[in-house]
Copies of this chain bind each other. A is one copy, B any other.
Amino acid sequence: MSISPEFALIHRHFAGCAPPNFLALGIGDDAALLPWPVADAQRRGNPPPAGQKAALAITTDTLVAGVHFFADGDPAALGWKALAVNLSDLAAMGARPVAFLLALTIPKADEQWLRPFVEGLAQCARAYEVALVGGDTTRGPLAITITALGEVPWGEAVRRSGAQVGDDLWVSGQPGRAGLGLAIRKGQLADSLCGAAEWLAALDRPIPRVALGLALRTVAHAMLDLSDGLTQDACHLVEERPELAVVLKEEWLPLAPLLDGGAPLALARTALLAGGDDYELLFTAPATARAAVLTASKTSATPVHRIGSIEPRSEGEPLMLKTTAGAMTPLTPRGWDPFREES
C-alpha cells in the first residue's frame, strides 16, 4: 500500500469515522492489521481481548497500464508481478500470505492476453501457496488491483515505526536492479550488458521476500518493503519518529554488483538510492541481533546487507549519508512518485 498526499487527504476525511482502537494498525504501513474475528464490542472502540491470537494483515495495490507497466509488455510477467508486489507488502509485516482477490479491468475480452497473464499470476500463487478467493472483471483501461490477505500472530507484526536509536539498518538482496532493468526497457542502457538479464528479471518478476519476512518477525524492530526507492522508503522508517534519523554508510551500500554488471557509476548509484520497484526488505534490528539476522538470512536463503544505522536526528534531517571519507551529509530522499509525469 502506498501513502500519497491523496491518501493522506482521504485519511483525514475519515478521521473520527473509525473507532481508534478497532485497528491494530491502519493506514500508513505496508498492510492493515485487524484482530479477527472482530467482536462487536471491539468495533465500538474497545481494545481486543487479552486472548486475541491472530491478526489479519490485508493490503491492496493497483498497477495501471502506462503508469506502472508497459501495456505491450509480457502479460505473464505482469501476472506474476501484480501478485508479487502485494505479497511483498505482507512480507514486510512479517505476515504469512494466505489468499488474494483479483480485480481486473481489461479493454476487451482477449484470451491471447488473458491466458498468459493468468498463468503468470498462478505461478506466483503456487510459489507462495496463496489461494485466489475471488475477484471482479470489468471492461475499461487495463489495470490490475490485487488485495492480499495474510495472517500474523497478534502483536508480532513488524511495523514501519518500530526503529530504535542504535539499531542497524539492513536491506535484503540487491536494490537497484529493477531501476537498471527499467533503464534498459527505456533504451537508456544497453541490453547486452552482462547484468541485463538479472536486472530485467528483477523488474519483471520481483521476488517477494516472504520467507525472510517471517524469519525476521521476532528479530526486526521495524520493516518495510522497497517500492518507491531506497532513500524515500528509508525516510518512511522515521516518518512518525521525528527524534530519529536514518544514516546510510556509503561504503556499505551494495553498489559493486551493479557496477560488475556493467552499469555506469552515476546510473548505478541513482538506481540503488532512488530506483523503485525493488521489493527488497529494508529493516532495522538491534546490534545484539546481528547473529539472529544472519541466521534469518540463511534459513530463508536470502542475502542481506548491513547498510547503516538509526541515530538521533539532528538539524531536522531524517536521512544522512556517511561518506567513505567519513563526512556526514544530508541526503535528499528521491524516489518514484506515481503522480509525477513520466519524463
A: residues with CB less than 8 A from B are 1-2, 4-7, 9-11, 13-14, 17-19, 22-23, 26-27, 31-32, 34, 36-38, 43, 53-54, 56, 58-68, 98-99, 101-106, 108-109, 111, 114-115, 118-119, 121-122, 125-126, 129, 131-141, 143, 145, 147, 149, 151, 338-339
Contacts and interface: CB of A to CB of B under 8 A. Distances in A.
A137 B4 contact: yes
B6 A137 contact: yes
A164 to B, nearest CB: 26
B140 A60 contact: no
Nearest to A154: B37
Contacts of A64: 105, 138-141
Contacts of A34: 98-99, 133, 149
A67 B143 CA distance: 14
A124 to B, nearest CB: 10
Contacts of A65: 140
A143 to B, nearest CB: 6
Given A32-B133, A60-B135, A132-B27, A43 B109 contact: no
B53 A37 contact: yes
Given A134-B59, A147-B60, A104 B23 contact: no
The quantity of this chain's copies bound in the complex is 2
Contacts of A125: 14, 17-18
Contacts of A36: 36-37, 54, 56, 151
19 contacts: A2-B138, A9-B111, A10-B102, A10-B114, A10-B132, A13-B119, A18-B125, A19-B131, A27-B132, A27-B134, A34-B98, A34-B133, A37-B54, A56-B149, A60-B103, A65-B140, A101-B147, A108-B339, A136-B145
Main secondary structure of the interface of A (DSSP, over half): mixed
Given A17-B132, A18-B131, A103-B103, 15 more contacts: A7-B136, A10-B104, A10-B121, A10-B135, A14-B132, A26-B134, A36-B151, A64-B105, A66-B140, A67-B139, A67-B140, A68-B138, A105-B143, A140-B143, A141-B141
Contact of A103 (B54, B62, B106, B134): B62
Given A36-B56, A54-B36, A64-B141, A104 B134 contact: no
A2 B103 CA distance: 10
Contact of A2 (B114, B119, B137): B137
Given A36-B37, A64-B139, A64-B141, A133 B338 contact: no
Contacts of A133: 18, 23, 26-27, 32, 34, 58
A122 to B, nearest CB: 5
Interface centre among A58, A115, A147 (most CB of B within 10 A): A147
A17 B119 CA distance: 11
Interface centre among A32, A53, A109 (most CB of B within 10 A): A32
B27 A136 contact: no
Given A66-B140, A105-B143, A126 B17 contact: yes
B13 A109 contact: no
Contact of A118 (B10, B56, B61): B10
